[in-house]
Chain A
């Protein structure tokens, strides 16, 4: 992504507060949702708690040391922050939330037949806690990591 586009994205994200009202009224909801299983209310949720509740139907979460989040503590480019979530627990799914984003839920990986690992690159509007939620044997576990995003800095 070019530098200019990234700026626009960041600005757009900051203007998100105003958009919240419109989206709440359903104006911004992606209208052509094709996949029946795509949990649109969870992705459109404006806070981590609401998103988790909508995605899993529960907000009873245990903090867990058995989940590792690997990511740079300081990201130079908020449009592309690499992140890995690892756990040795038997996993149903792993989901990733970025607390300060307008829509915190970044994605969920369903891993019943796979290993407890999910990696991707996320967009971050600004420095934020990143929260990983792991569903294991019907219970929710979570871990979080604060990632700093440098905007226009020298990468410290």
Chain B
């Protein structure tokens, strides 16, 4: 299924804040389907990487404690308008996403 990813940048606390929203079920693997009593298999994003102009600036490892449609915020020490941002994510079922964006303050 195609995932939507939104990336937004803004100045916050003197830094450049990057907000990333991915539409993803973040299924824990602990829930069961009410009707069939079958376990719903785990499906969640495990790694996220944020690169600025091709250089990795921040990354995260996520578990099932992160909510559905995860919203992640990082703050970069310096970045200017028009700098290239690339966000990559990968989930536990091998699904990946690569999203290109630009710093727009």
- Residues B59 and A110 in contact, CB atoms below 8 Å apart: yes
Question: When the two chains form the complex, which single residue of B26, B58, B67, B90 contacts A34, counting CB atoms closer than 8 Å?
Answer: B90
- Residues A13 and B70 in contact, CB atoms below 8 Å apart: no
Question: When the two chains form the complex, which single residue of A8, A86, A118 contacts B31, counting CB atoms closer than 8 Å?
Answer: A8
User: What is the interface size of chain B, counting residues whose CB is below 8 A from a CB of the partner?
Assistant: 41
Secondary structure of the B contact surface, majority rule:
strand
Secondary structure of the A contact surface, majority rule:
mixed
A115 CB-CB contact with B under 8 Å: yes
Q: Which residues of B contact A8 (CB under 8 A)?
A: 31-32, 34
- Residues B74 and A107 in contact, CB atoms below 8 Å apart: no
Residues of A within 8 A of B (CB): 1, 8-9, 11-13, 15-16, 19, 28, 30, 32-35, 37-39, 43, 79-82, 84, 86, 96, 98, 101-111, 113-123
- 10 smallest beta-carbon distances between A and B, as pairs: A106-B65, A119-B73, A12-B31, A115-B75, A117-B75, A43-B63, A121-B67, A114-B58, A107-B62, A109-B60
